[in-house]
């Protein structure tokens, strides 16, 4: 049984789970770099099991058809929009998921994506990525930092992650408004958040933070027209999925001063390609999709992946995706 573990960027998958427990007949290979999509089938055609980090490497039908030995695919999380699960089901390939861990339930702390969102907000308001290199270069206080107190946080989405943004915002003295297509007044009142229209969200937010699920309905939800309705002093933060914001329109808005800045943890293509236009913009703070990354989360997810493989080998698959 040959097992491939993909997208192990931090080279930690081997130590974070007991792969040896699968027995001597299971050989595990760890792939630390992104595989060129054109080479994906050639690289993986000899493997029986694939372990994927959710929505990192796409597996459309055209690739899966060229993996004749594939018997089990394990993805972190209980869904993976980057994999043609329907085709695998037709072919008789088992697709298992794992819990997608976003926080240590024993800590009482914030979910990881929310921590990342606030890291980006602080970096933008306090000019961290601009002033740090300036200080190192002998320059001092190039411009005024912003203040969170008195600013308005606009939340696109008030689900689990959007709701977790509210308490820190109020602690910093921010007003909080929110919009989503399905946001109810009761939900907003429960969290002491003012529900607004999409137009109001765009026009009033000093920080627009996106916490929506990726779907065809939300793809390109914030494009040129929406960005033009924002304050020129506003910043946009996206820790959800890159395509929810029209990337080309965002680049133009940042370059042209339509909005002041953006903090991004997600992109249309990940890893972000060399020479991408975002890399040239001083008013963009960029992180490498850290919103799902923590030692606690990875230990839990890789342990669950090993558990799913063991169950499959025992002819009793678990957490099978519908």
Of 131, 224, 252, 270, the active-site residue reads 270
**Is 66 noted as a catalytic residue in this protein?**
no
With b meaning 16 or more CB within 10 Å and e meaning fewer, what string describes 154-163?
bbbbbeebbb
Beta bridge partners, 28, equal 3
Dihedral sign from CA coordinates of 29, 33, 34, 35:
negative
**Is 216 noted as a catalytic residue in this protein?**
no
Residue 2: both structure tokens together: 């040959």
Beta bridge partners, 175, equal 152
Residue 206: both structure tokens together: 């000093």
Report how far residue 6's alpha carbon sits from residue 31's, in angstroms, rounded to the nearest whole number. 5
| CB 300, CB 99: distance < 8 Å | yes
Residue 291: both structure tokens together: 């919103």
Other Cβ atoms less than 10 A from the Cβ of 262: the count is: 25
Q: Where are the alpha helices (DSSP H) in the chain?
A: 40-44, 61-64, 85-91, 112-125, 128-136, 160-164, 166-171, 185-190, 198-204, 224-228, 247-256, 295-313
**Is 269 noted as a catalytic residue in this protein?**
no
| CB 206, CB 259: distance < 8 Å | no
Helix (H, G, I), strand (E, B) or coil at 290: coil
Of 55, 127, 241, 247, the active-site residue reads 241
DSSP 1: -
Cα 262 from chain centroid (whole Å): 16
Residue 74: both structure tokens together: 């394990």
Q: Which residues are catalytic?
A: 241, 270, 289
């Amino acid at each position: 049984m040959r097992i491939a573990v993909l997208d192990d960027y931090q080279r930690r998958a081997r130590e974070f789970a007991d792969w040896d427990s699968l027995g001597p007949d299971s050989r595990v290979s760890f792939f630390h770099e992104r595989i060129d999509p054109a080479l994906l089938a050639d690289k993986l055609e000899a493997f029986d099991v694939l372990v994927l980090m959710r929505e990192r490497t796409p597996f459309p039908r055209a690739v899966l058809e060229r993996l004749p030995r594939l018997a089990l695919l394990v993805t972190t999380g209980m869904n993976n929009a980057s994999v043609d699960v329907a085709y695998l089901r037709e072919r008789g390939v088992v697709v298992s998921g794992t819990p997608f861990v976003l926080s240590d339930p024993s800590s009482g702390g914030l979910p990881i994506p929310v921590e990342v969102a606030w890291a980006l907000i602080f970096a933008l308001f306090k000019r961290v990525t601009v002033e740090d290199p300036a200080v190192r270069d002998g320059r001092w206080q190039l411009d005024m930092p912003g203040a969170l107190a008195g600013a308005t946080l606009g939340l696109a989405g008030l689900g689990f992650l959007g709701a977790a943004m509210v308490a820190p915002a109020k602690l910093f003295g921010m007003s909080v408004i929110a919009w989503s297509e399905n946001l109810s007044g009761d939900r907003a009142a429960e969290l002491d958040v003012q529900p607004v229209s999409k137009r109001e969200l765009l026009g009033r937010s000093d920080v627009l933070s996106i916490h929506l699920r990726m779907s065809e309905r939300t793809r390109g939800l914030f494009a040129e027209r929406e960005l033009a309705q924002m304050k020129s002093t506003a910043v946009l933060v996206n820790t959800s999925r890159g395509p929810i914001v029209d990337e080309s329109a965002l680049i133009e808005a940042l370059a042209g001063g339509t909005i002041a800045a953006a903090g991004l943890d997600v992109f249309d293509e990940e890893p972000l390609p060399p020479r991408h236009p975002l890399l040239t913009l001083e008013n963009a703070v960029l992180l490498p999709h850290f919103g799902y990354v923590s030692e606690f989360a990875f230990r839990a997810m890789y342990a669950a992946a090993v558990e799913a493989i063991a169950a499959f080998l025992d002819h009793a698959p678990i957490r099978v995706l519908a």
